[in-house]
Amino acid sequence: MKHNFGAGPCILPAKVLDQAADAVRNFNGLGLSILEISHRTPEFEAVMKETQDLVRELLRVPEGYSILFLQGGASTQFSMLAMNFLHQEKKAAYLDCGYFSQKAIKEALLFGQVNIVASSKDKGYNYIPLGYEIPEDSAYFHYTSNNTIEGTEMFSFPPTTVPVICDMSSDIFSRMVNVADFDLIYAGAQKNMGPAGMTLVVVKDTLLEHIQRQVPSMSDYRIYRDNGSLFNTPPVFSIYVAMLNLRWLKEKGGVKTIETENIAKAALLYEEIDRNPLFYGLADPDHRSRMNVTFKMYEPAMEQEFLDFASTRGIVGVKGYRSVGGFRASLYNALPISSVEILVSCMSDFEKEKLNKEVELAQNESL
């Protein structure tokens, strides 16, 4: 039994994996694999429709928004959104709150001017900036709601009159948000939605009236909307597994229910990090992510030993991102609280082992 704390591609519910495996052999009893059916069949059109409907229902998407499925990941959106919405006469406002914000800014600069309204770079992005102003003449305001690498998350969103574009790759479907506060939400699928290979876009139709630049068809949000994300061959399997996963979420009670679980899971782990004298958390306590918990050991030399100790208990994917180091435990929707309990016991048992060793050493020395 593995406890998969990977940051993405990441854990999916066992039931979803079983259903996906079955469909790879025989989809819907058709005698064909989900991998070998045309995207123009009524069977796949039904999959597309159900996936869109589930997104709409689970996120409570209001009227006037379109649900799109694109290929590529959030990195493709970094340039695509700027290509569509950043024009010469206006600046785009960006919140610089982490590694992926930076990447988004870099790509936007190819298409126009960027105004960084606030940054937490000064402290290695360990907090979310507050108290900044968004100029009212901005083309749009862009931010990342959860910073997968640094382990910070935004729990309040600044009010603004300009269009709001948000990268929700790593916390979408993990908590309730008011979609009406956003003009475009995008999210790479490989966290709480499904396997890598697809990006969800929820976009306000009125935003699409502001595209002035001529953009390639595959970079034009309107093409996806007008063709029901079937302008060309979509990532059939990724969409199908996302549908299974969203069905699972709905059966569990939806986003509100999973949010309660996610709060409990994160609280349990942060409590142990704060209690255990060997570990410390990296993010400012007010901005600690519920999805990606980053922490280190006071003795860096001990970290590999802890990783080895944890792996004997089936814990995988807790090594921190290369630029940050330490540990990162991702607590996505599909991770059960029992896995968090095992990680917490593992940390406390490791502490006991270390303390016992110290006592032994002290005793040996005093002999």
Amino acid sitting at position 365? E
Sheet of 113-119: strand order equals: 65-70, 199-204, 184-188, 164-167, 141-144, 91-96, 113-119
Q: Which is nearer to a second copy, 108 or 283 (CB)?
A: 108
Q: Is 190 in the site for a second copy (CB under 8 A)?
A: yes
The whole-angstrom separation of Cα 256 and Cα 73 is 26
- Would you say 74 is a known binding-site residue? yes
- Would you say 167 is a known binding-site residue? yes
The whole-angstrom separation of Cα 320 and Cα 223 is 39
Q: Which is nearer to a second copy, 1 or 301 (CB)?
A: 1
CB of 295 to a second copy, least distance (A): 19
The whole-angstrom separation of Cα 351 and Cα 359 is 12
Q: Is 228 in the site for a second copy (CB under 8 A)?
A: no
- Binds a second copy (CB under 8 A): choice among 158, 234, 281, 326: 234
314 HSE (CA, 13 A, CB side): 10
Residues sharing a CB contact under 8 Å with residue 186, sequence separation 6 or more, in sequence order: 74, 77, 81, 165, 166, 167, 168, 169, 199, 200, 201, 202
- For residue 76 the two structure tokens come to 């493709």
CB of 275 to a second copy, least distance (A): 29
Cβ contact 74:59 at 8 Å: no
* Contact region with a second copy (CB under 8 A), list: 159-167, 186-194, 246-254, 287-295: 186-194
Burial (0-12, 13-18, 19+ Cβ within 10 Å), 214: exposed
- Would you say 170 is a known binding-site residue? no
- Binds a second copy (CB under 8 A): choice among 58, 61, 66, 73: 73
- Binds a second copy (CB under 8 A): choice among 158, 281, 317, 320: 317
* Contact region with a second copy (CB under 8 A), list: 6-14, 61-69, 203-211, 246-254: 6-14
Report the interface residues with a second copy, using CB under 8 A.
1-2, 4, 6-12, 17-18, 20-22, 24-25, 30-33, 35-39, 71-76, 78-80, 83, 103, 106-107, 110, 188, 190, 194-198, 214-219, 231-238, 241, 314, 316-317
